[in-house]
Structures are given as structure tokens and as C-alpha cells.
């Protein structure tokens, strides 16, 4: 099912579009703070808008807010205009964990990660809808720029179908007549196991996407890769950290359930995806 606009009345649509047009004027854009694709309109409101932003991200934030106590930005409006999706949402007062993490005391880090762990457990305990396998929150395609090839993937009726796509439909360790390594055979066997239901997954639990005030987690942001995914996906995605925060790799096991075998298989899968 396609994700739908949220509170996309005429006034708010054109007010936001007009503001973005004004941002192209240099002196005007200096009046507002920016963080990548996010423009801070005030101390309480911000707008995210890029060609890659999707209505599914807004739906995911609403879904999480309705089904957990995880602090996520409140969505005020979301709509598409000329191929660009605009999400008007709450600006959470906090600092990204990546800022100053290495200067925190071990006790401070422990308090933050200890509070983060039950939040993610809540996310994983949301019951999957009947007939739901690998898809975004609205049953549509998942988005993850780290996946090979196309921008949008699926939706897939089973986890097995998702895994098959990940390995380019290969059921034997042979590609274009060229034998692949023994490790690819192990990856195929891992993928072909019986899998339980998918779990709701943020998909990018980086220190760049978690906000704190002091030692309190006050926000988890950037839900663009969220969706119903295999149980291990949250862990392996978080472990493959952004190059800007390699230190985070050491913290992942402290707030997520480890999946060491799945991590080994994902390392293999990523190696071969670069070769295909």
C-alpha cells in the first residue's frame, strides 16, 4: 500500500514550499539552521525535504509513536510536491550521541546505552501484521541506500524472497559460470533457513541518529530505512557503522541483541555484492 500524506492542507503545503524557495536566496537561508536535509524553522519545528525523503518515513514515526514510548519527532505534516517529499515535524532538543561520545565517562555511556536497550526491545516486540514480511510500515518497498542496485526494494512476500534478491537470485555458489567461494555457499545455506516473523526495525541506529540531553535519550530520528525486516537486520545494520563514527561499533552489543553468525554472513554478502 502506498504511504499517504499527513495533514497536507493547502495553507501548510504552500507555506513550506514557499519557504524552501526562499532558501535558495543566500541572505534568507542564513536566518535558519540546517543539518543536512533538515531545516530548523524554529526551536520546536523543523522540515526534512530531499528527493530521497519518503512519506513512509513520516508514517514510520507516527507508527512508532502510537505503539511504543520511544521518543520520536511528532509529525505535523507530510506531503509530496514535484517529486520532493516534505516532512514537517517536531525539533527535539538534544545533542547527537556522536558529538562528544568519546569524552563521556564510562558511567555516562553506560546509562545512555542502558536506557536505549529497552526502547529497541519495545520496537522489536510490536506484533507484525498478518501476511507482513519484508516491507516498509505501510506495506510498500523498503529504502536503504546501502543495499545494492536499486533505491527501493520489494515489498517481499517472504524473508526468503528478500534474501534471494540480496544474492541476485543465486541458489548455487556460481555467478556467470564463475565459481564463487565456499563462503558464498554458507551464505546461501544461512539465507535458506526457516525464519520467524520479521520485526519492526529502524535500520540505521547510528550515533548520528540518537539524541540525548545529559545522560537521557530524548530522541531517535531518521526513520527513512525503517520497516519490517529479518530479526538480525537491526544488529548487522548498526554494526556496519557510518565511516564518521567508527567508535560506535564497539557499543552496538551493549544495546542490541547480538547476532554473531548473521553478522559474519552479512560481511560475506557485502563482499560479494561489491563484486557482482
Grid coordinates representing 176 are 556467470
**267 and 198 within one domain:** yes
Q: Is there a single domain that holds both residue 84 and residue 123? A: no
* Confidence bin at 4 (pLDDT 50/70/90): very high
Q: Domain check: are 82 and 57 in the same one?
A: yes
Q: Is the pLDDT of residue 203 over 80?
A: yes
Same-domain check for residues 160 and 179: yes
CA of residue 146 relative to chain centroid, distance: 11
Rounded Cα distance, 221 and 93, in Å: 12
Q: Flag whether 5 is in a domain.
A: no
Q: Is the pLDDT reported for residue 109 higher than 80?
A: yes
| Same domain for 120 and 67 | no
Q: What is the mean pLDDT of residues 131-138?
A: 91
For residue 239, being part of any structural domain is answered with yes
Domain boundary among 90, 118, 147: 90
Of 90, 124, 154, which one is at a domain's C-terminal end?
A: 90
Question: What average pLDDT does range 162-176 have in this prediction?
Answer: 92
**CATH at 34:** 3.30.200
- Alpha-carbon distance 254 to 97, whole Å? 15
Measured distance between the N- and C-terminal CA atoms of the chain, rounded to whole angstroms: 31
Considering its fold, how many domains does the chain have in total?
2
Q: Answer yes or no: is 4 within a domain.
A: no
What's the pLDDT at 31? 77
User: Which residue, of 67, 90, 113, is where some domain finishes?
Assistant: 90
Q: How confident is the model at residue 103 (pLDDT cuts 50, 70, 90)?
A: very high
Question: Do 143 and 26 reside in the same domain of the chain?
Answer: no
Distance separating alpha carbons of residues 265 and 233, to the nearest angstrom: 11
- Domain assignment present for residue 3? The answer is no
225 falls within a domain:
yes
* pLDDT tens-digit readout, 58-98: 999 999 999 999 999 999 999 999 999 999 999 999 999 99
Domain identity same for 71 and 146: no
The answer to whether residue 1 sits within a structural domain is no
The answer as to whether 24 is a domain residue is: yes
Q: Against a cut of 0.85, is the pTM above it?
A: yes
CATH code where residue 173 lies: 3.90.1200.10
Q: Say what the pLDDT of residue 24 is.
A: 65
As given in the structure block, the three cell numbers for residue 141 are 518497498
20 CB-side CA count, 13 A: 21
Query: Does some domain include residue 154?
Result: yes
Average pLDDT, the chain: 92
Whether residues 56 and 115 fall in one domain: no
Q: For residue 276, what pLDDT is reported?
A: 46
Q: 75 or 175: whose pLDDT is higher?
A: 75
Closest CA to 135 of 149, 152, 120, 148: 152
Res 27: pLDDT: 76
Mean pLDDT, residues 34-54 taken together: 87
Residues 143, 101: one domain? yes
In which domain, by residue range, is 112 found?
A: 94-276
Residues 149 and 131 occupy one common structural domain: yes
268 with 160, same domain: the answer is yes
One domain, residues 123 and 246: yes
Amino acid at each position: 500500500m502506498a504511504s499517504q500524506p499527513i495533514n497536507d492542507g493547502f495553507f501548510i503545503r504552500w507555506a513550506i514550499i514557499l519557504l524552501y524557495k526562499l532558501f535558495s536566496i543566500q541572505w534568507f537561508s542564513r536566518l535558519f539552521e540546517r543539518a543536512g536535509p533538515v531545516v530548523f524553522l524554529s526551536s520546536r519545528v523543523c522540515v526534512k525535504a530531499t528527493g530521497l525523503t519518503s512519506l513512509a518515513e513520516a508514517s514510520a514515526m507516527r507508527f512508532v509513536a502510537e505503539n511504543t514510548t520511544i521518543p520520536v519527532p511528532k509529525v505535523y505534516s507530510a506531503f509530496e510536491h514535484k517529486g520532493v517529499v516534505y516532512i514537517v515535524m517536531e525539533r527535539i532538543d538534544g545533542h547527537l550521541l556522536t558529538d562528544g561520545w568519546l569524552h563521556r565517562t564510562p558511567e555516562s555511556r553506560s546509562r545512555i546505552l542502558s536506557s536505549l536497550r529497552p526502547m529497541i526491545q519495545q520496537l522489536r516486540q510490536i506484533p507484525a501484521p498478518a501476511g507482513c514480511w519484508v516491507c516498509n510500515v505501510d506495506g510498500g518497498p523498503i529504502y536503504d541506500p546501502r543495499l545494492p542496485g536499486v533505491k527501493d526494494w520489494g515489498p517481499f512476500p517472504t524473508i526468503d524472497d528478500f534474501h534471494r534478491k540480496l544474492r541476485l537470485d543465486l541458489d548455487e555458489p556460481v555467478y556467470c559460470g564463475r565459481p564463487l567461494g565456499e563462503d558464498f555457499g554458507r551464505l546461501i545455506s544461512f539465507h535458506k533457513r526457516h525464519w520467524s516473523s520479521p520485526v519492526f526495525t529502524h535500520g540505521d541506529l547510528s550515533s548520528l541518529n540518537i539524541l540525548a540531553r545529559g545522560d537521557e535519550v530524548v530522541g531517535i530520528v531518521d526513520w527513512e530505512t525503517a520497516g519490517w525486516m529479518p530479526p538480525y537486520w537491526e544488529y548487522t545494520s548498526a554494526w556496519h557503522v557510518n565511516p564518521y563514527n567508527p567508535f560506535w561499533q564497539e557499543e552496538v552489543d551493549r544495546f542490541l541483541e547480538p547476532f554473531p553468525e548473521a553478522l559474519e554472513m552479512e560481511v560475506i554478502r557485502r563482499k560479494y555484492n561489491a563484486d557482482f
